[in-house]
């Protein structure tokens, strides 16, 4: 079930689209996608961007570059109908659609390649060429032909050192002397981006630093755009982009029941609680909820509401402020004591325990709504898709965290499950109407179960 719908009898539309992928993580997919989006937006083109897979951080950069919210596309988590519906809505008002891939092109189940093939969207491969020359051509050949029928646009060499280096890389793809831009594009060579730290996007343990945390975020995007402007890809005008126009089909309308009609849902949103899918906000509103926002970091009390959603984020970076948030804690305790629902996921769950031990070893007292402790780890504790088989059907999502809960935590009432069966699922803890888990839910995968989580009128 998806809240993004369109009329069934609408005609198919064609729109240029690229899926920006790579042979592995860390090759520069986000930098290229965001830089390209910024470059085209500066030229007056209407760009809509998406992120393949469950990710909260890269979409912030893509949203800054395009000026529009960024949805995630995952064939399993969303379901293909939801993916197609979100793209259909985007192409109604877009000149170009850009989809940033996830991990390596063929990594994961489903992979970025699966998405490209399901939607017939050409792949632009971004490859870190800083330590290779002729082998670059072999890698391009492998990415392009590993799976028969993969739609292909070409390759962009990233972190190139010099003109001579660029010439060797181009020859490995095209052969012969340098041609004009269109000949190069026809051969699959979309250009080279020089090694340049000025536009680099900084990282931390969960991924990229949020764009909103950097005063020079737009300047970084402009630097990335400038680096792409002189490439064959960057020189294409609107007509040139039509070579990658693909058809988008209208989805079948699936109305969302108004199970939260008249309910007020308070959502924590600040520097510590910022992992919020725009699609989740959209789903809550489609269910009829009115949303109000508050900041635990600023010690704002929970607003007058029927239910509370504590989304994920970086509570470990703001632990002292959360420990001092007495008004917020007291109002949340009163909310739970009154029997009103709370859904807390991952970082939104961590302050609910008695204490949080940081990676430095320092323990910070937390809010104590759940017994037990949370400890940060130096290595990733869990990663992957998850499904929760709720009393109202399967709610899909994912898990990604660097902390663990101590054995003194309450016994889990529910558990999520991996669709691949390779690892245990996440515990779901319950205290009265409070439910908490490391599980990040994609609300659109089951609006009825979402309404149940937040106390809606579910029959």
Distance CA 140, CA 126 (A): 10
**124 against 220, higher pLDDT:** 124
Do both 78 and 157 map to the same domain?
A: yes
Distance CA 33, CA 42 (A): 14
Average pLDDT over residues 229-236: 96
Do both 210 and 336 map to the same domain?
A: no
Average pLDDT over residues 402-411: 86
- 4 part of a folded domain: no
- 148 part of a folded domain: yes
Give 250-290 pLDDT, tens digit per residue. Answer: 988 788 999 999 999 999 999 999 999 999 999 999 999 99
Residue whose token pair is 């590993």? 146
pLDDT score at 287: 97
Average pLDDT over residues 210-231: 84
Distance CA 308, CA 37 (A): 35
- 418 part of a folded domain: yes
Q: Tokens at residue 228, please? A: 């792409």
Range in 207-221, 311-325, 407-421, 433-447 with the lowest mean pLDDT: 207-221
Average pLDDT over residues 19-37: 96
pLDDT score at 214: 62
pTM of the model: 0.92
Distance CA 354, CA 374 (A): 8
Do both 303 and 448 map to the same domain?
A: yes
CA 411 to chain centre: 31
Which residues, at least 6 apart from 7, have a Cβ–Cβ distance to it below 8 Å? 250, 253
**Residue 279 φ then ψ, to 5°:** -65, -30
Do both 29 and 63 map to the same domain?
A: yes
The enclosing domain of 334 has a CATH number of 3.40.50.880
Do both 269 and 336 map to the same domain?
A: yes
| Cβ count within 10 A of residue 411 | 7
Burial of 113 (0-12, 13-18, 19+ CB in 10 A): buried
Do both 104 and 228 map to the same domain?
A: yes
328 carries an active-site annotation:
no
The enclosing domain of 205 has a CATH number of 3.40.50.300
Do both 275 and 232 map to the same domain?
A: no
Alpha helices in 25-111 (DSSP H): 29-42, 58-66, 80-91
**Domain edge (last residue) among 248, 276, 304:** 248
| Percentages (nearest 5) of helix, strand, coil residues in the chain | 30, 25, 45
Distance CA 87, CA 73 (A): 9
pLDDT score at 6: 39
pLDDT score at 7: 40
- 396 part of a folded domain: yes
**Domain edge (last residue) among 248, 275, 291:** 248
pLDDT score at 254: 80
**Domain edge (last residue) among 248, 276, 306:** 248
Q: Tokens at residue 253, please? A: 């309308």
pLDDT score at 303: 98
Residue 166 belongs to what H/E stretch?
helix 163-174
- 459 part of a folded domain: no
CA distances from residue 224 to 34, 38, 230, 269, 356 in whole angstroms, order as listed: 8, 8, 11, 29, 38
- 8 part of a folded domain: no
Supply the range of the domain harboring residue 336: 264-453
pLDDT score at 175: 83
- 7 part of a folded domain: no
Do both 148 and 56 map to the same domain?
A: yes
Do both 314 and 419 map to the same domain?
A: yes
Average pLDDT over residues 432-449: 96
Residue 197 pLDDT more than 70? no
Query: What's the mean pLDDT when you consider all of the chain?
Result: 92
Domain count, the chain: 2
Give 98-142 pLDDT, tens digit per residue. Answer: 999 999 999 999 999 999 999 999 999 999 999 999 999 999 999
Confidence of residue 204 (pLDDT cuts 50, 70, 90): very low
pLDDT score at 2: 44
Average pLDDT over residues 155-177: 92
Q: Is-contact 96 16, C-beta < 8 A?
A: yes
Confidence of residue 367 (pLDDT cuts 50, 70, 90): very high
**Residue 315 φ then ψ, to 5°:** -60, -25
Do both 312 and 174 map to the same domain?
A: no
Which residues, at least 6 apart from 96, have a Cβ–Cβ distance to it below 8 Å? 15, 16, 17, 18, 40, 45, 46, 47, 48, 241
Average pLDDT over residues 348-367: 96
Do both 287 and 235 map to the same domain?
A: no
pLDDT score at 10: 62
Do both 313 and 340 map to the same domain?
A: yes
Residue whose token pair is 């996608």? 33
Give 416-429 pLDDT, tens digit per residue. Answer: 999 877 667 999 99
Q: Which of 52, 305, 328, 346 is catalytic?
A: 346
- 253 part of a folded domain: no
Confidence of residue 203 (pLDDT cuts 50, 70, 90): low
Average pLDDT over residues 59-77: 96
């Amino acid at each position: 079930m998806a809240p993004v719908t369109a009329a069934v009898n609408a005609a198919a539309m064609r729109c240029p689209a690229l899926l920006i992928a790579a042979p592995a993580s860390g090759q520069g997919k986000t930098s290229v996608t965001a830089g390209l989006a910024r470059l085209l937006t500066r030229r007056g083109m209407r760009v809509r961007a998406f992120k393949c897979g469950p990710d909260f951080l890269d979409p912030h950069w893509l949203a800054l570059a395009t000026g529009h919210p960024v949805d995630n596309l995952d064939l399993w988590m969303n379901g293909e109908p939801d993916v197609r519906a979100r793209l259909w809505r985007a192409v109604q008002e877009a000149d170009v659609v850009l989809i940033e891939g996830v991990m390596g092109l063929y990594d994961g189940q489903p992979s970025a390649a699966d998405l490209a093939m399901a939607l017939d969207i050409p792949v632009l491969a971004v490859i870190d060429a800083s330590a290779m020359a002729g082998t670059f051509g072999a890698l391009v050949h492998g990415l392009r032909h590993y799976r028969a029928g993969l739609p292909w646009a070409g390759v962009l060499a990233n972190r190139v050192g010099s003109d001579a280096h660029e010439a060797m890389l181009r020859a490995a793809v095209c052969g012969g002397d340098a041609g004009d831009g269109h000949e190069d594009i026809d051969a699959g060579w979309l250009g080279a981006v020089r090694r340049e730290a000025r536009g680099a996007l900084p990282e931390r343990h969960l991924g990229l630093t949020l764009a909103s945390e950097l005063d020079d975020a737009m300047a970084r995007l402009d630097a990335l755009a400038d680096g792409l402007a002189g490439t064959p890809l960057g020189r294409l005008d609107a007509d040139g982009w039509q070579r990658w126009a693909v058809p988008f089909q209208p989805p079948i309308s699936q109305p969302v029941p108004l199970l939260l009609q008249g309910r007020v849902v308070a959502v924590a949103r600040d520097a510590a609680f910022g992992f919020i899918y725009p699609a989740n906000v959209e789903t809550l509103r489609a269910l009829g909820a009115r949303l109000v926002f508050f900041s635990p970091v600023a010690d704002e009390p929970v607003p007058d509401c029927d239910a509370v959603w504590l989304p994920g984020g970086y509570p470990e970076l703001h632990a002292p402020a959360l420990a001092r948030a007495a008004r917020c804690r007291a109002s949340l305790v009163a909310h739970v004591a009154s029997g009103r629902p709370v859904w807390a996921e991952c970082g939104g769950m961590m302050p609910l325990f008695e204490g949080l031990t940081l990676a430095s070893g320092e323990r910070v007292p937390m809010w104590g709504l759940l017994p037990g402790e949370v400890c940060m780890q130096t290595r990733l504790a869990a990663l992957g898709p998850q499904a929760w088989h709720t009393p109202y059907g399967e709610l899909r999502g994912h898990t990604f965290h660097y902390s663990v809960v101590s054995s003194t935590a309450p016994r889990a009432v529910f558990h999520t499950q991996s669709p691949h069966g390779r690892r245990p699922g996440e515990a779901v803890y319950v205290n009265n109407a409070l439910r908490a888990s490391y599980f990040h839910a994609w609300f659109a995968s089951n609006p009825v179960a979402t309404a149940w989580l937040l106390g809606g009128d579910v029959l």
